[in-house]
Amino acid sequence: MDRLRERAEVTSEPQEAEAAVAATGLQYRYKDGVKGAGPARAALSGVDFAVARGEIFGFLGPNGGGKSTLFRILATLLAPDAGEVLVFGLDLLRQASEVRRRLGVVFQNPSLDLHLSVRQNLACQGALYGLRGADLASRIGAGLERFGLADRREQRAKELSGGLRRRVELAKALLHNPRLLLLDEPSTGLDPGARRSLWETLEDLRDQGVTVLLTTHFMEEGDRCDRLALVDRGRIVTTGVPSDLKAEIGGDVISLTGREPEALARQLGELHPELSPGVRDGVVRLERERAHELIPRLFEELPGRIDSVTVARPSLEDVFLRRTGRALAEDDEVGS
């Protein structure tokens, strides 16, 4: 049944071959006093990207880098100052209502009415999408079943734990079978188990043809995306498959600690100019193929200067650092 309906919807989409989302030249500048203190600052300065149908696409970047602004624009909550967004070939700015029909949105802050029961929350949501009667009831039943909420049906939302609320949130966003699911920092506040089951759900949805677009500042989450855009200071730094992005960094990442990291890095740079060592958070970092051959030499060349050595496969964190000169998790430390 669902599959048939799905197919019927697909054929009625305009311009079948279009990308799920295509954005060009997006710009947004916060107006004075609207958000944060200080003068107007650019939240987005010229963002382009394209998301293919049926992929999980992530925006990975530090908090305050422009991801949330991007999310709000895609969710039709914020009009950009300049630029264009096509969602399934529909102009987001001029056909917002048409886009909204195809869009499921999961906010970082829950959008549940805490005084209503789980079922009432879903019923209210359904009505907003024109669903009613037996169709609505069966969709609610299926949604509750899918997310293991059947026994919570009549419970008020405020009595649920954070993880359960997020599941209701997902059931709510999926009630009208959206073709595009938009999630803002979906893992924030979830325990590892809930995080795992969230990702299983997202992968299921993708396999059913739903396009999933999410923002995150966790590199582990970035790793699970089919494709990824690194976002920093209002720009997309690079886009690609996570493993390709990491392959840009040849070989391994070596981290050294010592008493005088700056001096250590300088000395290393003199000995091995091709390594271009850098220092971050008191750790000297360099990238190098076949690190195991280099490391004994470093100890010989710099006797007593090195306290510890770590070798790791490059992570998205390393990619981000190399591309922007900044750490991914910098802001997070303050926040949590």
CB closer to other proteins, 51 vs 228: 51
Minimal distance, residue 147 CB to other proteins, in Å: 17
Minimal distance, residue 30 CB to other proteins, in Å: 10
Q: Assess contact for 264 and 284: CB atoms under 8 A.
A: yes
Spatial neighbors of 20 by CB under 8 A, at least 6 apart, are 51, 52, 53, 54, 55, 87, 88, 179, 180, 211, 213
CB closer to other proteins, 105 vs 286: 105
Q: Whole-angstrom Cα distance, residue 55 to residue 205? A: 10
Q: Whole-angstrom Cα distance, residue 92 to residue 44? A: 17
Helix (H, G, I), strand (E, B) or coil at 164: helix
CB closer to other proteins, 93 vs 309: 93
Q: Whole-angstrom Cα distance, residue 149 to residue 215? A: 26
User: In terms of Cα–Cα distance, which of 243, 318, 320 is closest to 67?
Assistant: 320
Minimal distance, residue 102 CB to other proteins, in Å: 9
- Beta strand pairing call for 227-232 and 90-91: unpaired
CB closer to other proteins, 127 vs 247: 127
Helix (H), strand (E) counts: the chain: 13, 14
CB closer to other proteins, 26 vs 319: 26
Minimal distance, residue 108 CB to other proteins, in Å: 9
For residues 229-256, one letter each, b for 16 or more C-beta atoms within 10 angstroms of the residue's C-beta and e for the rest, the string is bbbbbbbbbbbeebeebbeebeebbbbb
Minimal distance, residue 35 CB to other proteins, in Å: 10
Minimal distance, residue 113 CB to other proteins, in Å: 5
Minimal distance, residue 223 CB to other proteins, in Å: 28
Footprint of other proteins on this chain (CB under 8 A)?
75-79, 92-93, 96-98, 100-101, 103, 105, 107, 109-116, 120, 123-125, 127-130, 132, 156, 172
DSSP letters spanning 118-158: HHHHHHHHHHHTT--HHHHHHHHHHHHHHTT-GGGTTSBGG
Minimal distance, residue 76 CB to other proteins, in Å: 5
CA distances to 121, 294, 319 from 290, in Å: 56, 7, 18
Q: Assess contact for 48 and 25: CB atoms under 8 A.
A: yes
User: In terms of Cα–Cα distance, which of 49, 42, 109 is closest to 74?
Assistant: 49
Q: 């799920």: which residue's tokens? A: 20
Token pair, residue 167, equals 């599941």
- Beta strand pairing call for 308-312 and 252-257: antiparallel
Minimal distance, residue 101 CB to other proteins, in Å: 5
